[in-house]
């Protein structure tokens, strides 16, 4: 007679599955504050247009302002509260014409792309409480 292995309880299998699920969730990156804010308020009708957060990433805004908009010391300011500091028309002018060490992007961006960026940035009125530290600029000398 052949013996068939039958587990006593499904508990070890369930615990193993739960552990894999929790481990998978733990390694998922959380969206940056700029990205999260833009997607939380994006209208469904704009689904065919790139959102401001997507453009922020794709058009290279992160290179100076950081992946989550916290700014890079010596390179570019934080944009986490830019909507509190500047009106939409001032944000648009800054992106289009440049100034204050920022290059102009009026020739590099389409008008609808500038509008999407302005709409997203104008909503940045309150900085999140928990942020990663800003990335130090490579141009700054090391004090050590």
Token readout for 43 is: 């209208």
Q: What is the average pLDDT across 56-82?
A: 90
pLDDT tens per residue across span 98-114 = 988 999 999 999 999 99
Look at residue 104 in the predicted model and tell me its pLDDT. 95
* pLDDT (0 to 100) of residue 16: 58
The greatest distance separating any two alpha carbons of the chain, rounded to the nearest whole angstrom, comes to: 86
Averaged pLDDT, 57-82:
90
CATH classification for the domain delimited by 50-126, as one of 2.60.40.10, 1.10.760.10, 3.30.420.40, 1.20.140.10: 1.10.760.10
State residue 131's pLDDT score. Answer: 62
Alpha helices in 41-87 (DSSP H): 52-58, 62-65, 82-85
Count CA atoms within 13 Å of residue 61 on its CB side: 28
* pTM for the full predicted model: 0.59
Per domain, the residue ranges of the chain are 50-126
**122/82 Cα distance (integer angstroms):** 7
Q: Which of 60, 74, 63, 47 is nearest to 117 (CA)?
A: 60
pLDDT at position 21, please? 55
């Amino acid at each position: 007679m052949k013996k068939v292995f039958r587990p006593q309880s499904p508990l070890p299998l369930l615990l193993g599955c739960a552990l894999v699920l929790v481990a998978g969730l733990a390694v998922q990156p959380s969206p940056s504050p700029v990205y999260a804010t833009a997607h939380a308020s994006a209208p469904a009708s704009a689904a065919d247009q790139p959102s401001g957060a997507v453009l922020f990433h794709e058009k290279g805004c992160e290179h100076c302002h950081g992946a989550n908009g916290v700014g890079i010391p010596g390179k570019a300011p934080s944009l986490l509260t830019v909507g509190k500091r500047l009106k939409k028309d001032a944000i648009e002018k800054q992106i289009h014409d440049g100034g204050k060490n920022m290059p102009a992007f009026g020739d590099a961006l389409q008008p609808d792309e500038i509008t999407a960026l302005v709409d997203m940035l104008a909503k940045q009125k309150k900085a999140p409480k928990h942020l990663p530290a800003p990335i130090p600029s490579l141009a700054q000398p090391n004090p050590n």
